[in-house]
Amino acid sequence: MTPFTTEKYIERSRKALADSRLQGALSSVQSRLGPATQRMYGRQPEGPGIRQQAHAIRRRAIDNLDLLLEELADRVTENGGQVFLPGTGPRRLPTAWMWQKSTGSGPWSRANPW
């Protein structure tokens, strides 16, 4: 398995955004999946109730994202994995770098995430 790195993230993102064929394909997928999902939910006996429950679950996850990410990092470590937080790995994540640059803050840590 090829390791994931962020070294060429910005370069590849710009290339993908400029690729009209790729953008057209993504737009096509979005225009087909949205209506198809809506039809599928409409055919289920629970219908809109399922969508509302899913929305509530996503909202809770977003509201508690800091705790969920910390738990995920703990579980990965417990199972022998390695967690690279922004500023601690071989390459800092672009968003963390941009945030630190704009705020003048130091390296990210669990104790001081922002």
Does some domain include residue 83? no
Residue 7, classed as helix, strand or coil, is: coil
23 in a structural domain = yes
Tell me what pLDDT residue 54 has: 86
- Residue 8 confidence class, pLDDT cut points 50, 70, 90: confident
Could you report the per-residue pLDDT of 80-101, keeping only the tens digit for each? 887 776 665 544 444 554 444 4
Which residues, 6+ apart, have CB-to-CB distance to 112 below 8 Å?
Answer: 105, 106
> What does 59-93 look like in DSSP terms, one character per residue?
HHHHHTHHHHHHHHHHHHHHTT-----TTTSSS--
Average pLDDT over residues 8-23: 91
> Would residue 96 count as lying in a domain?
no
Residue 22: pLDDT above 90?
yes
| Per-residue model confidence (pLDDT) at position 49 | 82
Q: 72 lies in a domain?
A: no
* Chain Cα centroid distance, residue 21: 24
Could you tell me the residue range of the domain that residue 40 belongs to?
Answer: 18-63
112 located within any domain:
no
Sign of CA pseudo-dihedral 50, 52, 54, 60: negative
Residue 53 lies in a domain: yes
99 neighbors 114 (Cβ within 8 angstroms): yes
Q: Quick one: pLDDT at residue 15?
A: 93
Split into its structural domains, the chain has a count of 1
Tens of pLDDT, residue by residue over 29-86, are 988 998 888 888 778 877 778 878 888 999 999 888 888 888 888 888 888 887 776 6
